[in-house]
Amino acid sequence: MMQTKILPSSLIVIPCLNEAAHIGALVHELRPAAERLGARIVVADGGSTDGTRAIVEEIAGKDPLIILLHNEKRLQSAAINLAVASCGEGAEYVIRIDAHGGYPPDYCDRLVEEARITGADSVVVSMLTSGSGMVQKAVAAAQNSKLGTGGSKHRHLSVGEWVDHGHHALMRISAFKAVGGYDETFSHNEDAELDYRLRKAGYRIWMSGKTKMIYYPRSSLADLYFQYLGYGRGRAKNILKHRMIPKVRQMVPLLVFPVVLLAAFSFVHWLAITPLLVWASVCLGYGVWTAISQRNPDNALAGISAMVMHFGWSVGFWLQLLGPRSQRRVA
Q: pLDDT, tens digit, for every residue of 75-112?
A: 999 999 999 999 998 899 999 999 888 899 999 999 99
How far apart are alpha carbons 63 and 39 in whole angstroms? Answer: 13
Would you state the pLDDT for residue 326?
Answer: 46
Q: Measuring CA to CA, which residue among 251, 214, 74 is closest to residue 130?
A: 214
How far apart are alpha carbons 9 and 317 in whole angstroms? Answer: 40
Residue 155 predicted with pLDDT over 70: no
User: Residue-wise over 148-158: b if at least 16 C-beta within 10 A, else e?
Assistant: bbbebbbbeeb
Q: Measuring CA to CA, which residue among 158, 165, 164, 11 is closest to residue 82?
A: 11
How far apart are alpha carbons 112 and 10 in whole angstroms? Answer: 8
How far apart are alpha carbons 253 and 148 in whole angstroms? Answer: 10
**Percent above pLDDT 70 for the chain:** 92
User: Residue-wise over 219-255: b if at least 16 C-beta within 10 A, else e?
Assistant: eebeebbebbbbbbbbbbbbbebeeeeeeeebeebbe
pTM, to two decimals: 0.85
**46 near 17, Cβ under 8 Å?**
yes
Would you state the pLDDT for residue 8?
Answer: 62
Q: What is the residue-wise DSSP string for 224-255? A: HHHHHHHHHHHHHHHHHHHTPPPPHHHHHHHT
Would you state the pLDDT for residue 280?
Answer: 94
How far apart are alpha carbons 69 and 87 in whole angstroms? Answer: 10
